[in-house]
Amino acid sequence: MTFDALQNDLLSAPKIDWDFLLDAPLRIVVIIIIAIGLNIVMRLFIRRFSTAVAKGTVGSEKAEGHGSGKFSSSVIESQRTGIEPVIIRERRAQRAKTVGRMLSSVTTIIISVIAVLMVLDQLNFNIAPILASAGIVGVALAFGAQELVKDYLSGFFMVIEDQYGIGDTVDLGEAVGEVEDFGLRKTAVRDLTGTLWHVRNGEIMRVGNLSQGWARAVLEIPVNYSTAMDTYREITESVTNSMLKDKELASAILERPEIAGVQSLSAEYRVIRTMIKTKPNLQWMVERAFRAELTHEFDTRGITIPIIQETMLRTLPRETDSTDSTTSSNSEDEPRPTYTTRQTTDNGPSPLPSDDEIRSTTDESGTDAADGES
């Protein structure tokens, strides 16, 4: 092919419409690139936020005095509550992962929807019906799915505020037990009887976490009046020393028992409140061990547990109809008493005769007169 032929082919080829390429297609490419870049930047911010939540670092004057700028808050919380730092870090990492996943998903969905609408507008599509339909769908979701949105928002703030997590013992109202599953929409709680409760996060009005930070074993001990308070304190010290010999109990007890004092009084005994600060979820084990050692110590010292004095009152059964009929028949067989005489007293006038006395006296006088005539 000669140079002239090639030149003729190039001149005869259709010209590229640069105006069109620099108009809509270029804008679409720019929109897509900006959307991808914005999504990447937002994910980086979310990742840094999640890392900060999972790391949990706070300033400390003590750390600065030793040349270190920061202490991990997990170490500080471990010193305050007695929980292992590894468990605290795992809990924070789980919470940060959940928050980061949710924020990333919401950010990607919002950016993608906006980018698609802008691309359709550049392609000269009429997006007004789409926007109108989206408005209608939004209104419908606002009425129909408001409970679902409420559940997700409540679950999100529960995760952010670390109200509870998997393995915690919580009181959610009717559901009281251990958390087996915790999501943004619902919480699964296993109670003491083994029932698994599924509770929507939007329905949770209050949360009582029995295993967050530390716990306290509260014991109400009935003690005889013959046992002095000093004796009870000595017994408590002896029981505590016996419990601390067990490694499991020693690791569960954070502080020595505190005797709050006399809680209530009765005719038989007084109730003394004793409190023991423990690790979370271990207060019930400490309570059982303390009662067992206290009972053994009482038996060793010859102190008896006071018994409540009770008085039982019983009513006699009512007489049956047969007994009544038998009694009435027996009474009929007995001779009826006749009032032939009247008892008089010197202290007052004689009482007037009754009708039966008058009738019986008349009958006797009539009988005697008839016998005399005959």
Q: What is the pLDDT of residue 17?
A: 54
Least-confidence region, from 4-8, 52-56, 271-275: 4-8
Tokens describing residue 56: 């949990």
Q: What is the pLDDT of residue 237?
A: 94
The pLDDT of residue 322 is above 70: no
pLDDT digits (tens, 9 = 90+) for 63-101: 334 434 444 555 655 555 555 667 667 777 777 777 788
Measure the CA–CA gap between 45 and 50, rounded to whole angstroms. Answer: 9
Cβ within 8 Å of residue 170, ≥6 positions away: 164, 176, 177, 178, 179, 189, 207, 208, 209, 210, 211
Measure the CA–CA gap between 358 and 332, rounded to whole angstroms. Answer: 23
Q: What is the pLDDT of residue 349?
A: 52
Measure the CA–CA gap between 95 and 165, rounded to whole angstroms. Answer: 8
Measure the CA–CA gap between 300 and 64, rounded to whole angstroms. Answer: 54
CA dihedral over 110, 154, 177, 81, signed as positive or negative = positive
Q: What is the pLDDT of residue 270?
A: 92
Q: What is the pLDDT of residue 232?
A: 93
The residue among 205 and 321 whose pLDDT is bigger is 205
Measure the CA–CA gap between 106 and 143, rounded to whole angstroms. Answer: 21
Q: How confident is the model at residue 357 (pLDDT cuts 50, 70, 90)?
A: low
Q: How confident is the model at residue 294 (pLDDT cuts 50, 70, 90)?
A: very high
Q: How confident is the model at residue 250 (pLDDT cuts 50, 70, 90)?
A: very high
Whether the Cβ atoms of residue 260 and residue 275 lie closer than 8 Å to each other: yes
Measure the CA–CA gap between 294 and 156, rounded to whole angstroms. Answer: 46
Q: What is the pLDDT of residue 320?
A: 56
**Identity of the residue numbered 282:** L
The whole-chain average pLDDT of the chain stands at 76
Q: What is the pLDDT of residue 345?
A: 45
Measure the CA–CA gap between 83 and 46, rounded to whole angstroms. Answer: 28
The pLDDT of residue 365 is above 60: no
Model confidence, pTM: 0.55
